[in-house]
Structure 1
Amino acid sequence: MKKEISICWFRRDLRINDQSALFHALKGDFPVLPVFIFDTEILDKLQDKKDRRVAFIHSSLSQLQAEFINRGSGIYVIYGSVEDAFDKLTTEFAVKAVYTNHDYEPYAIKRDSSVEKMLSQKNIPFRTFKDQVVFEKSEIIKSDGTPYTVFTPYSRKWKGSLKEEDIQLLPSENHLFNLFKTKSFTIPSLNDLGFEDADFHFPEINISEKRISEYHEYRNLPSVEGTSMASVYLRFGTVSIRQLVKSALKWNEQWLNELIWREFFMMILYHFPYVVNGSFKKKYDQIKWRNNEDEFRKWCRGETGYPLVDAGMRQLNETGLMHNRVRMITAGFLCKHLLIDWRWGEAYFAHKLLDYDLSANNGNWQWAAGSGCDAAPYFRIFNPSAQTLKFDPKLSYIRKWIPGFRADYLIPVVDHEFARKRALEVYKQGVLE
């Protein structure tokens, strides 16, 4: 006779503490089997077989497995299509319910709708919960019921709406006695998944009181370790957003604003899914990009002759990380100095970034290009030299990522003043005509 269980389907929530779906599953009537699916629909599109993000997920699952084994249970990790995975699970077990947390990306919404339909045909409830944000979908909207498209009023409403229960931590870790008791399952190796060990040391998260309380002082200085490195951990849910917001409320409003920006972009993607492939401000799709492939390759390699841009791209290529101030400068340079379509840069960042998140990556690239909601105006064109004087005056960051740096290390790919005037002309023709 098949064992009666509930399933907690882990996705972007790879933790035990304050995990919404896990909490509600464990409070239910049946023992809970934790499940993770390495979705071939996603993995097959990753060209780099040493993808560090897959390695991060794999490492996080191993840590979860150790915790579950201590409770006489284990996480069932399946490699394949989501549909085949649930066919397998519902064949092996008498599944009474599936619990998981909301996801807001177009593919995830379509996938979850398909799973819910499939399970309903087997009379299995599909129960989903809010977990990766404090406010989702249409919880923060204008008085006329439409979504905000400008950050400042959105953040003001967000803060004004926040109540203690919105960031109450759910003690899921206190209910692990209701896990399904089983011999631990073997997690497929990276090789089993078609990947290789990335042999990479991930940056450690630092959410100490000192780091967060000093965030506003150092956040724009790329040579200083002044940021929390929380973005990678938030991306895969190994930390709780509610816990981070609690810390931000106590220690630093500027850091809280960064967490709210994350939710703002998630809300934009949810309400305006066309931004995945097109400009939020649709008239910006009329811009005639130059799209010079040789210049794009130089930008990718960090060989533009603009030291701050090149240092940023070299940091990205080597580590999968880039300081946020430098992300703005490198993105703006590609779109405005080189007049290369923001989608090219967005795709390159998506390929490289450890903390790649569709909504934030898309939102920030469209901000840099001027095409997004609440974006930098088209006529704001960063001068990389002025940005260097302001944020890396001793060239510490530049020298770290460009060994043996000299002022004439490369001939600049384009003159700043020439590029600025050209960008203004092209943008005016595309946006104003």
Structure 2
Amino acid sequence: MNETYVVWFRNDFRFHDNPAVHAALNEAQESDGNILFVFHLHPDFTGNTDLSNDYFFQTVRDFAEECEKINVKLHIISGTPKEAFDLLTERVGVINTVYHARDFTPFALQRDEEVRHTLQKHRIRLESVRGNYIHEPFEITKNNEEPYKVYTPYSRQWLRAEKTSLVQSDPDDISRFYGRIKAVDAESEKTFSTILNNCSSNWKKIGEKAALHRLEFFIKNVLSRYHHTRDLPEKAGTSRLSPYLRTGTLSVRQVYNAAAVQLEGKNNEGPETFIKELAWRDFYTMILTHFPETAEKEFQEKYRDLSWNNNQDHFSLWKQGMTGFPIVDAGMRQLNQIGWMHNRLRMITASFLTKDFQMDWRLGEKYFGEKLIDYDPASNIGGWQWAGSVGTDAVPYFRVFSPVRQSERFDPDGSYIRRYVPELKDVPDKFIHEPHKMPADIQDKASCRIGKDYPEPIVDHKQERKRAIAMFKEEGELL
């Protein structure tokens, strides 16, 4: 019986530059074996179809449909890692190796170890290959092999380090060496269909084809001025590639290569700025890998006992986008509507929760995890700890974002605010950042009565700024 080489897809739903597919196909070609594609429905994720999971599961479906076009099947297995991979070994002939792309979150490492232990009992290898990173967590270290704790020196070495080449697999070869088409587990297929039926969003741009199209558009139309436009939420000035990187429908190496070519031109500030953002992505993955406790604890140990507020009413209003601060509310409503938020707004809304409300960054990080279609645990945790002044390279605790000043600076005419907070659409520019200052007659003219159509500011920013600074001073700085 021919041996089978399994590709276990997790967050790499693409054919281009997929090291796991490339490795399995090479083995099958050399040994005249078969390849098989599987996706494991982990029980920790099957009960939630909020925006983040909705987008992810529909991406899996899109990839399964693309597989069918080349006469290949993405098999679904489910249950605990042990249950799923025990079943796989029972239903599939002789499995030689299961290949997967490396992932470094605490959850992924624990899951992979459980699968490794399960497969070892069946004398099957679990082989990891390069994941969706430019440089993996152990590749960029200090001379003494210790991890960096600060971005700037890390980025210098990251930029200098040699980059890996892309790998390609011919779809015709994939089809020719593909093994079983009949479902490995019909019950798991039904479970996945039920999950998809619970997904209610209509994502127009999803999957590898959309990802490649977006990359091409970004390189041609946005990259050269990226350094000017990336902070303006109303402009289409960011890459919007992060959802594709999260699901792996786009290889980050493809992104880097496409951007790096533009460094050779005269106007290279945009490409330089963008490439440094890719370095940040690897940096945060490195931090979480070397310091896994930071998934739940502050990177800066002196701030691990801060007396966070627990006002659930405030938290609810923040989530709904009903704080009375237009730029904060616009950001949260954008998140709730489309599962994505401009990075500047992620900073503003996170700063507001942790500083103006003095609420635990973990609450916000978890909520973002439920909503963001580009949710990356390492980057999200790093970003929240940055905004909360408790992480690596964190903004100093005494720097508290003023939501009004941020609004005036990055959405000067209120276009972004009006898009996501429609009750303010007729408010004059003069008052768009602080609508509570409108006189009564202007409120009537704008059909926006403060306290009725749109809330009063829920807190006094100046007072909350003082409280936030005091919290850090009293319980962090004096330790």
Instruction: Give the Cα separation in 1 of the matches to 2:240 and 2:355.
Output: 28
Q: How does 1:293-332 map to 2 (within 5 A)?
A: 293-332=312-351
* 2:251 is equivalent to residue 240 of structure 1: yes
* 2:393 is equivalent to residue 374 of structure 1: yes
Q: Is the 8 A contact 1:38 1:77 kept in 2?
A: yes
Partner of residue 475, structure 2? 430
Identity score, percent: 38
* 2:168 is equivalent to residue 171 of structure 1: yes
* 2:288 is equivalent to residue 269 of structure 1: yes
* 2:72 is equivalent to residue 73 of structure 1: yes
Q: Is the 8 A contact 2:51 2:372 kept in 1?
A: no
Distance 1:306 1:55, change over 3 A: closer
Residue by residue over 1:370-410, the C-alpha shift from the partner in whole angstroms, topping out at 9 and shown as x without a partner, is 10011111111111111111100000001111113141232
Partner of residue 178, structure 2? 180
Q: How does 1:48-127 map to 2 (within 5 A)?
A: 49=49, 51-93=50-92, 94-127=94-127
Q: Is the 8 A contact 2:133 2:282 kept in 1?
A: yes
Q: How does 1:4-403 map to 2 (within 5 A)?
A: 4-28=3-27, 29=31, 30-44=33-47, 46=48, 49=49, 51-93=50-92, 94-163=94-163, 166=164, 168-173=165-170, 175-183=173-181, 185=183, 187-188=189-190, 190-193=192-195, 196-202=198-204, 205=211, 206-207=214-215, 208=217, 209=219, 210-251=221-262, 252-403=271-422
Instruction: Give the Cα separation in 2 of the matches to 1:332 and 1:247.
Output: 33
Residue by residue over 1:173-202, the C-alpha shift from the partner in whole angstroms, topping out at 9 and shown as x without a partner, is 354145324436475465523861323225
Q: Is the 8 A contact 2:52 2:370 kept in 1?
A: no
Residue by residue over 1:97-121, the C-alpha shift from the partner in whole angstroms, topping out at 9 and shown as x without a partner, is 1111111011111111121122122
Distance 1:195 1:152, change over 3 A: farther
Kindly state the Cα deviation for residue 268 of structure 1 after the two structures are TM-superposed. 0.6
Partner of residue 444, structure 2? none
Kindly state the Cα deviation for residue 67 of structure 1 after the two structures are TM-superposed. 3.6
Instruction: Give the Cα separation in 2 of the matches to 1:145 and 1:15.
Output: 33
> What SS does the aligned partner of 1:137 have?
coil
Instruction: Give the Cα separation in 1 of the matches to 2:177 and 2:385.
Output: 44
Q: Is the 8 A contact 1:17 1:173 kept in 2?
A: no
Code of the residue aligned with 1:69 in structure 2: it is E
Distance 1:64 1:173, change over 3 A: farther
Instruction: Give the Cα separation in 2 of the matches to 1:363 and 1:53.
Output: 18
Unaligned runs of 5+ in 1: none
Instruction: Give the Cα separation in 2 of the matches to 1:188 and 1:216.
Output: 47
**TM-score, normalised via structure 1 length:** 0.93
Distance 1:67 1:422, change over 3 A: closer
Residue by residue over 1:232-274, the C-alpha shift from the partner in whole angstroms, topping out at 9 and shown as x without a partner, is 1101100011100112212311111111111111111100000
**TM-score, normalised via structure 2 length:** 0.85
What is the number of equivalent residue pairs in this alignment?
425
Unaligned runs of 5+ in 2: 263-270, 428-434, 437-453
Kindly state the Cα deviation for residue 3 of structure 1 after the two structures are TM-superposed. 5.6
Instruction: Give the Cα separation in 1 of the matches to 2:412 and 2:463.
Output: 24
Code of the residue aligned with 1:388 in structure 2: it is S
Instruction: Give the Cα separation in 2 of the matches to 1:301 and 1:135.
Output: 38
Q: Is the 8 A contact 2:147 2:290 kept in 1?
A: yes
Structural RMSD (CA): 1.9
Instruction: Give the Cα separation in 2 of the matches to 1:71 and 1:3.
Output: 21
> What SS does the aligned partner of 2:370 have?
helix
Instruction: Give the Cα separation in 2 of the matches to 1:116 and 1:336.
Output: 43
Instruction: Give the Cα separation in 2 of the matches to 1:137 and 1:181.
Output: 34
Distance 1:67 1:179, change over 3 A: farther
Kindly state the Cα deviation for residue 157 of structure 1 after the two structures are TM-superposed. 0.5
Instruction: Give the Cα separation in 2 of the matches to 1:304 and 1:60.
Output: 33
Q: Is the 8 A contact 2:284 2:379 kept in 1?
A: yes
